[in-house]
Amino acid sequence: MPKNTKYIFVLGSVLSGLGKGIVTSAIAKNFQVRNKKATIVKIDPYLNIDAGTMNPMEHGETFVTDDGGELDEDFGHYERFLGEPMSRKQNITTGQIYYSVIQKERRGEYLGKTVQVVPHVIDEILLRFKEIEETSKSDIMMVEVGGTIGDIESQPFLEAIRQLHMNIPEENSLFVLVTYVPYPRHISEHKTKPTQHSVRELRASGLVPDLIICRSEVPIDTKTLQKIAFFCDVEREAVLDLPDLSSVFEAPQLLDSQEISHLLSKKLQLSLDTPDWSSLESLLNQHKKINGKLIIGIPGKYTDLVDSYISVNEALKHAALKFGWNVELRHYATEDFESNPENIAKLNEVDGILVPGGFGDRGTEGKIAAIQYSRRENIPFLGICLGFQLAVVEYARNVIGLAGASSTEISESTPYPVVCLQEEQKDIKNKGGTMRLGSYPITLKEGTKIAELYGSLEINERHRHRYEINENYFNQLQDGNLIFTGFYSHLLETLELSNHSYFMGVQYHPEFKSTPWKPSPPYEGLIKAAIQRSTGRKSA
């Protein structure tokens, strides 16, 4: 029996950064609350095999899945909205497609043929769709195409989609166009021309939108929506308005209020149950009950692009929301602490400090200074991955007295390599996909703060790093105040200080598993301690 999979393609027009990932998640959520499962595939038309080798300043965060995928940050939105783990197989890049085609060519699988974009690259894309369709247990496949209509690099994907659309029954595919409708202040009205041009461009690729979702800073009036419908040749009710929202989690219901389910079921000939919005609604109600604001300081390197740490930012918000607080994130460029050590005192204004993950040595001394400041001033602290490793470096130098202690990532000639490569990492030359990646089981020590936060001694968390705490310093570092509290085999995964309000370091990235419904325990610990500091300061 052939599967009757319904394909929904989500394309973006006019500009990037429209929140296509949010729109895709919000549509998938509309299925989920109606007991239908949608698998989401994201296409990234760049030549990297995955997002692991890209600069977060350019591309945003690299999101890590349980199965060790280093994926586009949109996967974070998908998981946070749906509460389901995604797989590396769901992220297709041009790099993967070409890599596979070239390998086939070398093996002689196209022997005698001229290997070309049409048909070989297109067929490879179609093959990937087919594989995911066959292995996924869902009725709906959503395919979000990265980039913007008109990009040269997404052309092969659009052609593959056109062919797929042609070869399946009409009711098995639907095209969603996410567009930007600008509102120039000096004329105070929405402008539809960029959308009209994009639709024309899309039609030139042989694709026609069924649904247009309009993004704008402010709500769009009915007359303008009518105009878009008329000039883009779609029904009026198929043009939906999605202005900026105070919480992205309002998006699913905003689409629902414009009858998206009716449009989806009509076009796809799909019967949909009445929705159960209760868990989303209780979340949105929590937003309304917020009574205070915490300031969390993030000393880091990528301070310019908020998206570099998007999962960290979200995890902090999730944990704060649970206790009825908002968070204001203050990013500090750690190089400022290096150029003028007095700047470190700025951190006194925060309620908690989080030192996130990172690579390379730029700004690390400033991060170490920030960690020392939180330790000495008893400011709640959470160190993630590099932040954890640097907490060990700081403690080794300033408490244990190992002058010049460091990580070999920062200084190969350090006299005390308290963070270093494991044997199995030493011979690895290729940088792509070779870190310790994905979910590993961790055993926590009974009676510790971290075990209390997780409420369990066996946990699973996601990793993305190459260096480890050097176990040769295990005894020397544990001076009675510092305790290593979590282990995977012989590797040291977590630490805490017993003489501090909250000082926690974790080798893994707990933010990747945080959702608003289930905040991450180490983040919850930080927020609880930050609330105490904030309320203590106010009453002092």
The residues carrying an active-site annotation are 385, 509, 511
Nearer to ligand GLN among residue 165 and residue 462 (C-beta): 462
Strands 417-421 vs 406-407: parallel, antiparallel or unpaired: parallel
Alpha carbon distance, N-terminus to C-terminus of the chain: 71
When asked if residue 371 is in the footprint of ligand GLN (CB under 6 A), the reply is: no
User: Taking CB under 6 A as the rule, does residue 301 contact ligand GLN?
Assistant: no
Residue 315 interacts with ligand GLN (CB under 6 A): yes or no: no
How far is CA 16 from each of CA 147, 150, 467, rounded to the nearest angstrom? 6, 12, 35
Using the rule CB under 6 A, is 385 a contact of ligand GLN?
A: yes
Whichever of 7 and 63 has its CB closer to ligand GLN, that residue is 63
Q: Which is nearer to ligand GLN, 378 or 425 (CB)?
A: 425
The answer to whether the Cα torsion of 237, 238, 244, 245 is positive or negative is positive
Sole binder of ligand GLN in the list 466, 471, 487, 491 (CB under 6 A): 466
Are 443 and 397 a contacting pair, CB within 8 Å?
no
- Answer for which of 88, 331, 367, 465 binds ligand GLN (CB under 6 A) is 465
The verdict on 524 binding ligand GLN (CB under 6 A) reads no
The residue from 51, 225, 234, 386 that contacts ligand GLN (CB under 6 A) is: 386
Provide the 8-state DSSP code for 115: P
Closest residue to ligand GLN: CB criterion: 357
> Is 359 near ligand GLN (CB under 6 A)?
yes
390 to 419: interface string for ligand GLN, x by CB under 6 A: -------------------x----------
Q: What is Dmax (Cα atoms) for the chain?
A: 81
Minimum distance from CB of 466 to ligand GLN (Å)?
4
> Cβ 44 to ligand GLN, closest distance in Å?
20
Reference 148, options 251, 23, 16; nearest CA is 16
CB of 378 to ligand GLN, least distance (A): 25
Q: Which two tokens stand for residue 256?
A: 């629902």
Strand segments, DSSP code E, in 26-128 are 38-44, 63-64, 70-71, 91-93
Number of residues that bind ligand GLN (CB under 6 A): 10
Nearer to ligand GLN, 220 or 385 (CB): 385
* Residue 467 interacting with ligand GLN (CB under 6 A): yes
Is residue 510 within 8 A of residue 384, CB to CB? The reply is: yes
Residue 1 Cβ vs ligand GLN, minimum distance, rounded to whole Å: 45
Helix (H, G, I), strand (E, B) or coil at 31: helix
Q: At closest approach, how far in Å is the CB of 428 from ligand GLN? A: 12
Secondary structure in 3-state letters for 210-258: CEEEEEECCCCCHHHHHHHHHHHCCCHHHEEEEECCCCHHHHHHHHHHC
408 by Cβ neighbours in 10 Å (0-12 / 13-18 / 19+) ranks as middle
Using CB under 6 A as the binding rule, whether residue 128 contacts ligand GLN is answered as no
**Exposed e or buried b for every residue in 186-207, given b needs 16+ CB within 10 A?**
eeeebebeebbebbeebeebeb
**Site for ligand GLN, residues 90 to 109, rule: CB under 6 A:** none
Q: Using the rule CB under 6 A, give the single segment among 53-61, 311-319, 339-347, 461-469 that binds ligand GLN.
A: 461-469
Q: Of the two residues 104 and 466, which places its CB atom closer to ligand GLN in the complex?
A: 466
Q: Give which of 332, 341, 472, 487 is closest to 405, Cα–Cα.
A: 472
Per DSSP bridges, beta strands 352-355 and 381-384 are: parallel
CB burial string 92-116: b at 16+ within 10 A, e below? bbbbbbbeebeeeeeeeeeeeeeee
Q: Which residues contact 230 (CB under 8 A, 6 or more apart)?
A: none
Question: Residue 264, Cα to own-chain centre: how many angstroms?
Answer: 27
Q: Could you say whether residue 357 binds ligand GLN (CB under 6 A)?
A: yes
* Closer by beta carbon to ligand GLN, 215 or else 465: 465
Cβ count within 10 A of residue 47: 13
Residue 358 near ligand GLN by CB under 6 A:
yes
Stretch of 172-180, 193-201, 218-226, 459-467 contacting ligand GLN, by CB under 6 A = 459-467
Q: Does 20 bind ligand GLN (CB under 6 A)?
A: no
- Piece in contact with ligand GLN (CB under 6 A), picked from 23-31, 95-103, 291-299, 356-364: 356-364
Q: Is 488 in the site for ligand GLN (CB under 6 A)?
A: no
Tokens at residue 157, please? 């994907």
Reduced to 3 states, what is the DSSP secondary structure of residue 327?
A: strand
Q: Is 464 in the site for ligand GLN (CB under 6 A)?
A: yes
Rank residues 266 and 466 by Cβ distance to ligand GLN and give the closer one: 466
Of 75 and 467, which has the nearer Cβ to ligand GLN? 467
Q: Which is nearer to ligand GLN, 26 or 393 (CB)?
A: 393
* Interaction site with ligand GLN (CB under 6 A): 357-359, 385-386, 409, 464-467
